[in-house]
Chains A and B, each alone.
Chain A
Amino acid sequence: MTALDMPDRSAPPAIDLEELARLRRRRLEKLGAWALPVLVVALSLAAWDWVVRVNDIPHFILPRPGRVWSQLLADWPLLSQALMVTLRITVFALALAVSLGGGLAVLFSLSRWVEMSLFPYAVVLQVTPIVAIAPLIFIYVDSPFVGMMICAWIVAFFPILSNTTLGLRSADRNLEDLFTIYGATRWQRLRYLQLPSAMPYFLGGLRIAGGLALIGAVVAEFAGGVAGRNGGLAFRILEASYRLNVPRMFAALALIAVAGIAIFAITSLVSHLALRRWHESALTRER
């Protein structure tokens, strides 16, 4: 806050033992942040491999990791196509969730009456399990692609709606007063005060919604997706299970997991880039 709180910069840069230990610890933590997870994965794979080998488990029960990898390479044309189908549903659903969830939140912030009328429906949609709604959706919607997208959208849109609604309402009260004093229009208030205030909340919702959209896409496909060449990863898993092709099931599962991680990483990066200049969550603590 004041000059008194600042460390004395004129002091000679002699580093005492405590600071040295702190520096070493920080360096170790930085290394550990990526080295430890990699190590854990490697050890788990080794243990998995060892268990299968020692017990002589047949590959149609539990394949060795190497077998899953070679299956993934062999089936790549098939699985990559399925991955694209699943990803397309996910991305479309997420885009729809962002525009409709965000748009509805803005509408709620403009009219308390609209919010009171519609919010219960949003909650009902959120708490009803998607597997229970999906069969109905596939009855009323002709295109399976659209049906699956609606399912994934239902799962993904609530966190965006509720977070953005909260964020739009969380603007600083004194800043609100300032806007009133300077005679801001409704649009100016929304554009210069409420939307920036809601940004961290919205991005938090987006990170949750990204993962949920993928889950929604996979669940929807199990519930009523298409078979054959237009099938997604869920269809490939089902198909492989009928044929007892367990290595392919694992390969498809791994692809879903990687896709989920990638979506989380991308939404986290977007959030970091948008907030790094000003929001507490994106700042590295100076000390």
Chain B
Amino acid sequence: MTAPLLAIENVTKVFAGAVTALEGMTLALNDGDFVSLLGPSGCGKSTALRLIAGLSSPTKGRIRWREGAEGALGVVFQEPTLAPWATVFDNVWLPLRLAGVSKSDARDRVEESLSAVGLGGFSGAYPRELSGGMKMRVSIARAMVTKPRLLLMDEPFAALDEITRFKLNDDLLALHERLGCTVVFVTHSVFESVFLSTRIVVMAARPGRVIRELRVSAPTPRDDAFRTSAAYAEQCRLTSAALREAMEDA
């Protein structure tokens, strides 16, 4: 049994002003996991993501990476968060550029990452020329260009319309399947979390904490048929019940 890619060990985060954003969270992320953090606002799911990303540090407990994999992560925010002054290519190049990779050396990897999200041929476009869904794809391409072991996604599709969201969900699963990285996906949509995840971590607010963890046992190459299957409906029912429990607990 190999060590988990990342272990969150009894982590508590208290902000100045004595607000406990997260209390005693323990979670092990294994290779290839697709873990959703599901819960009402204020349940600490975004705080957990920031702690994993190293943007803030825990008040108590610790976060441990597997040796050799430290900090190999990519992030996708709720907004596409692209630099408007830079082309699609330059936006995706950014993580490599910050690591000192020149434009010509980065070219193949950037183009590869763009075609993986279905945006081959858009390198020269500026973000304002793209639709909301396409901007999000660029954002995903940027997160994947460094071939991270861990991909953090903070409600990435919340602002998109349902048709675009379904398409992006499908594509994200295909991408996850192909690259085999671990994903932590923050959402407040039961349906999205069930469709995407292998594990769902249900969280409650005040103080933010983990209530329970559910496994989604459906086989992983999932497609549109899964969205209308009885297994999907049953899993959604179970998850909704757990979420309701979490809300009542708060």
Contacts and interface: CB of A to CB of B under 8 A. Distances in A.
A180 B81 contact: no
A174 interface: yes
Contacts of A181: 53-55, 73, 75
Interface string A162-178: 00000000001011011
B98 A196 contact: no
A175 B81 contact: yes
Given A1-B132, A2-B133, A184 B98 contact: yes
Contacts of B94: 178, 182, 192
Contact of A2 (B97, B128, B161): B161
Most B C-beta atoms less than 10 A away, residue of A1, A183, A184:
A1
A240 to B, nearest CB: 49
A199 interface: yes
B150 to A, nearest CB: 11
B31 interface: no
Interface in B68-127: 71, 73, 75, 77, 79, 81, 83-86, 94-95, 97-99, 126-127
Interface residues on A, range: 20 to 34
A278 B128 contact: yes
B164 A2 contact: yes
Q: Binding site of A, secondary structure by majority: helix, strand, loop or mixed?
A: helix
A279 interface: yes
A283 B55 contact: no
B163 interface: yes
B228 interface: no
A188 interface: yes
A179 interface: yes
A278 B84 contact: yes
Contacts, number: 61
A182 B95 contact: yes
A181 B71 CA distance: 8
B238 to A, nearest CB: 32
A243 interface: no
B96 to A, nearest CB: 9
B55 A278 contact: no
Nearest to A185: B98
Interface string A50-76: 000000000000000000000000000
A43 B51 CA distance: 69
B53 A175 contact: no
A192 B100 CA distance: 13
B2 interface: no
B131 interface: yes
A112 interface: no
A1 B161 contact: yes
A279 B84 contact: yes
A172 B95 contact: no
A175 B83 contact: yes
Given A172-B81, A178-B75, A278-B84, A283 B128 contact: yes
Nearest to B87: A277
Contacts of B81: 172, 174-175, 178
A279 B86 CA distance: 11
Nearest to A1: B132
A1 B55 contact: no
A281 to B, nearest CB: 12
A174 B94 CA distance: 14
A278 B85 contact: yes
Nearest to B152: A181
Interface in A1-55: 1-2, 4
A273 to B, nearest CB: 13
Interface in A185-200: 188, 192-193, 196, 199
B213 to A, nearest CB: 26
Interface string B34-76: 0000000000000000000111000000000000000101010
Contact of A177 (B55, B99, B126, B132): B55
Closest 7 CB pairs of A and B: A174-B81, A182-B98, A196-B85, A174-B77, A278-B84, A278-B85, A1-B132
10 contacts: A2-B133, A172-B81, A172-B83, A174-B79, A175-B81, A175-B83, A177-B53, A192-B83, A277-B85, A279-B85
Interface of B: 53-55, 71, 73, 75, 77, 79, 81, 83-86, 94-95, 97-99, 126-128, 131-133, 161, 163-164
